[in-house]
Structure 1
């Protein structure tokens, strides 16, 4: 996670924030951020999301990337995996400065993602490729099966989960990028 730490440091300095200021915004200690920036520890999914929100960037910003190409090859996707959460993300779009971001989300059975409020409004669309999911949008619970899709205001997403015993694969499009 050295690359992640370096990217966090670079973005923090671009914004002129101290470790303490960023920590306050993200809900973590300055010491934690220092160890993270120096590659000594790895963040959880929720912590990385909180830091990304505090720095006003999508989580994928922290991954090393080459110059964008129009084609994103299956074996060359930027990935974020968090074994403790049973959820993994793969970026399907080549650059983060675009108006839209598409992500392949893989959720193992029993995996659940509780989403914190995002820093800016966005629109989101999810399509279930395989598996079965439960999604909470503004207190409304929906069950989606393979082939189902849902469109919603991203700020109203509360959580989603893989239900059943089969892995869940979702394509999620976000406008503007905010994951």
Structure 2
């Protein structure tokens, strides 16, 4: 996984854990990680995978991208393309850049999925939210529950995030898409 400074990320995870009164052992158990992994992540000695961060965020009842941003109250926030926070999967193949500032009621992510890649190894769900995906280029396969839907450039799909889901690129070309999630739970 490639993300911002591991020390800052670890500190935010530790602070959030303490804020909700959870021990490192409890976090490890809830996130299905070893206590050593949690300790290394919190100390900034481990660059966690996207899957590990998803588990930690879920255990902390926090949207994933909130682990990467400071809360700022401003009436208008501009996110320059060069300043976007980007997260890539450890295996490669998937990247998300945060288009929205975070800490609000709407999360917007620009995603790119390489040929043959998937957003996760298996279908997964997360806390109650509404998601809408819009394909900018390529063909994106959306798997939700037992349904498989192919979306072409310009197509969109809406679903509730409690339904296990994932995005797959079954083509030989890069797929670009935008995901909007409200409230943020990604």
Fold in common (TM above 0.5)? yes
Name the structure 1 match of 2:29.
24
Deviation sequence 1:89-138 (CA, Å, 0-9, x none): 11111132x111111111111111234321x2111000000111111112
Structure 1 portions without partners, runs of 5+: none
Name the structure 1 match of 2:16.
11
TM-score where L is the length of structure 2: 0.89
Structure 2 portions without partners, runs of 5+: 1-5
Deviation sequence 1:8-65 (CA, Å, 0-9, x none): 1111111111111001110001111001111111111111100000001111112144
Q: Does 1:59 align with 2:55?
A: no
Partners of 1:85 and 1:112 within 8 A in 2? no
The whole-number CA distance in structure 2 between the counterparts of 1:161 and 1:46 is: 16
Q: Does 1:134 align with 2:166?
A: no
Aligned match of 2:98 in 87, 91, 97?
A: 91
Q: Does 1:123 align with 2:127?
A: no
Name the structure 2 match of 1:33.
38
Q: CA RMSD in A?
A: 1.5
**Secondary structure of the equivalent of 2:91?**
helix
Aligned match of 2:165 in 146, 158, 163?
A: 158
Provide the aligned length of Structure 1 versus Structure 2: 177
Partners of 1:139 and 1:158 within 8 A in 2? no
TM-score where L is the length of structure 1: 0.92
